[in-house]
């Protein structure tokens, strides 16, 4: 229950903080949620909540009103994380606190995305961590924001690393009504870029890891995105 209240209570706050948000954009999101998840509409976001699990966990996924794009998707995602969860994901970013994980790429339809994932509100091993993901997709001059929350990834029943992860289902179903897909032939230049790397660390050295190579021992990979760690 704590998880559901956390994001639901921040929805009205985000409307005041994100002055560059674009109104009436909630209907732009198209996505597939797991069966039996509920849907609650707020003026500035839609909250999808899982059934309560026997462990007491109730996960949720929230789509927010779109914001104006700054041209720096990492900065947009970081700002959204801080606005919604009242915490900078790149502060307290080393033991005994969890470290942030960043991933980025380009969807088949041609929009760029970046996600910041970090457990918050606790320390490693204390059993109180809230698993958080902030996903930002750049759609021209707008940025779509999707968040997920649940227990920390090692034990989560819905966004976990060991038991179950519903995020791939959502990610591969995600599209936007107002976005015109970019033909694949126009995206061929993307294939010459460095393979997508998911790098741990929140300092400026790794903030632009699409252009700089982070040490291999600081990289992990989402199994559903990529499996190559070559330079």
Q: What is the DSSP letter of 209?
A: T
Asked, as a colleague might, if the bond just before 96 is cis with ω within 30 of 0, I would say yes
Nearest-angstrom CA–CA distance, 217 and 219 = 6
What is the tally of structural domains in the chain?
A: 1
In CATH, what number is assigned to the domain containing residue 65? 2.60.120.1690
Residue 227 lies in a domain: no
Query: 32-57 b/e with 16+ CB inside 10 Å = b?
Result: ebeeebeeeebebbbbbbbeebeeeb
The tens place of each residue's pLDDT in the chain, 231 residues long, gives: 344 445 544 444 343 334 344 345 899 999 999 999 999 999 889 999 999 998 889 999 999 999 999 999 999 999 999 999 999 999 988 889 889 999 999 998 999 999 999 999 878 877 788 999 999 999 999 999 999 999 988 889 899 888 889 999 999 999 999 998 887 666 555 545 444 444 444 433 333 333 333 344 433 333 333 323 333
- Give me the domain span that covers residue 93: 2-193
Residue 198 in any domain: the answer is: no
Is residue 228 in some structural domain?
no
Task: Quote the CA–CA distance of 38 and 209 in Å, as a whole number.
Answer: 37
Torsion of CA 58, 34, 44, 145, to 10 degrees: 100
In a domain, 122, yes or no: yes
- 224: in domain: no
> 């992860």: which residue's tokens?
165
- Whether 36 maps to a domain, the answer reads yes
Pairing of strands 67-68, 142-151: antiparallel
């Amino acid at each position: 229950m704590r998880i559901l209240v956390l994001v639901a209570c921040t929805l009205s706050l985000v409307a005041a903080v994100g002055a560059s948000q674009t109104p009436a954009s909630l209907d732009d999101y198209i996505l597939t949620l797991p069966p039996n998840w509920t849907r609650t509409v707020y003026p500035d976001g839609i909250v999808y909540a899982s059934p309560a699990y026997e462990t007491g966990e109730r996960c949720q996924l929230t789509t927010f009103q779109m914001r104006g794009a700054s041209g720096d998707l990492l900065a947009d995602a970081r700002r959204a994380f801080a606005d919604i969860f009242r915490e900078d994901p790149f502060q307290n970013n080393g033991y005994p606190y969890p470290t942030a994980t960043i991933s980025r790429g380009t969807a088949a339809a041609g929009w760029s995305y970046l996600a910041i994932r970090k457990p918050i509100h606790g320390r490693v091993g204390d059993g109180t961590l809230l698993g958080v993901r902030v996903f930002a997709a750049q759609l021209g001059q707008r940025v779509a924001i999707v968040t997920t929350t649940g227990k920390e990834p090692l034990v989560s029943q819905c966004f976990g690393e060991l038991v179950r992860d519903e995020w791939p289902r959502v990610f591969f179903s995600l599209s936007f009504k107002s976005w015109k897909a970019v033909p694949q032939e126009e995206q061929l230049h993307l294939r010459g870029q460095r393979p997508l790397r998911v790098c741990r660390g929140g300092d400026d050295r790794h903030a632009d890891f699409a252009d700089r190579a982070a040490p291999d021992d600081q990289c992990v990979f989402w199994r559903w995105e990529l499996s190559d760690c070559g330079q």
